[in-house]
Structure 1
Amino acid sequence: MEEYMGGISMFAGSFAPKGFMMCDGRPLQVQNYQALFSLLGTTYGGNGQTTFRVPNLTGRTPIGAGRGTGRTSRELGETGGAEQVTLTERELPAHGHEARSDLPVSRSLGNTGAPSGNRLARSDDVDIYAESTGGQMAVETTIGDAGGSAPHDNMPPYLAINYVIAVRGTYPQRP
């Protein structure tokens, strides 16, 4: 079966077979590829007078054009996505960070101003530490911001392979 002109195939070789070109975004002269230009136009670039481009699938994953149920509409030739992303605070799920600690305290009146080795105590005056043992006081606090905002990889597992476009072949009939 002969390929349709403009059809794209995966090819595991390191070259484009006869009648095909790599889908690498290269510019072509309209006068040399008039039939292919009539199919692609300037969808993938070029000035439309003397040049047009084949699709550039180098480092890209193709997706279907159009709008599927519950999907975002994608125009033929549209590109998007990023290999790395940096999430913003707005993109993170709402969450909090808590820290808990037990702080030794005393029920006695404070009898020293030195905190080292002593416990927080009641104060009727200035001395707020006591040498005697007492209970524990729960302390709750909120931790500040964390993270470095560095971009992270956004790529699923992949296998690099060549995409080729048929520049010769059967001209597809329109319905």
Structure 2
Amino acid sequence: MAGIDGKRAFRALPRPGDVKLSLVRTDHDGWLLLDGRRLTPASHPRLFEAIGAAYGGDGRSTFALPNARDAFLVVAGAARALGSIGGTESHALTADELPEHDHAYSRTGRSTKALQVGAGVLPLSIVSEVTSTDAATGKTGMGKAFSLIPPYFALNAFVYAGL
């Protein structure tokens, strides 16, 4: 490493528990795919020391990798603790989730009446319009879930286990 002193080069190396995104499909060079599998502390002691059994396993003979498949990765903070899991791919709105609103109900009706005048009949057309806000408009919608997933580019997530 010409031009980089030893101390800076050491800091550039990944540490067990570091995560990266990649187009690589399989484990490689100490990096393990975050696929939820179980490992033994004896096979990956440095990684076990870094993450313990926080993602599964009994903490003695097994521990698990986090499962990042089909999930968006979110940086931990005040709203989401490190290692927390949440979210949903789709959602069907309930009435409680809709903003408060009113529906005006307007109806125009036309009826034809016959008016008897002497021996003849005179057709008569009467148009009436009624507007009401307390009348029911009927149900609409199917209650189907809709996607919450924004456009995406899928990558594999890996954790460094150490060499």
Q: In structure 1, what is the equivalent of residue 108 of structure 2?
A: 102
Partners of 1:90 and 1:45 in 2: CA distance = 36
Unaligned runs of 5+ in 2: 1-11, 116-121
Q: In structure 2, what is the equivalent of residue 136 of structure 1?
A: 128
SS in structure 2 at match of 1:31: coil
Percent identity reads: 27
Change beyond 3 A, Cα 1:119–1:43: farther
* Aligned counterparts, 1:64-83, within 5 A: 64-67=75-78, 72=79, 74-83=80-89
Unaligned runs of 5+ in 1: 106-117, 122-129, 170-175
Number of aligned residue pairs: 144
Q: TM (normalized to structure 1)?
A: 0.73
Partners of 1:139 and 1:91 in 2: CA distance = 28
Deviation at 1:3, TM superposition (A): 1.2
Change beyond 3 A, Cα 1:89–1:35: same
Q: TM (normalized to structure 2)?
A: 0.78
- Aligned-residue RMSD, C-alpha: 2.3
Amino acid at match of 1:90: D
Per-residue CA deviation, residues 65-97 of structure 1 (Å, 9 max, x unaligned), is 230xxxx3x222211101111111101112233
Residue 98 (structure 2) pairs with residue 92 (structure 1): yes
Partners of 1:8 and 1:148 in 2: CA distance = 42
Deviation at 1:144, TM superposition (A): 1.5
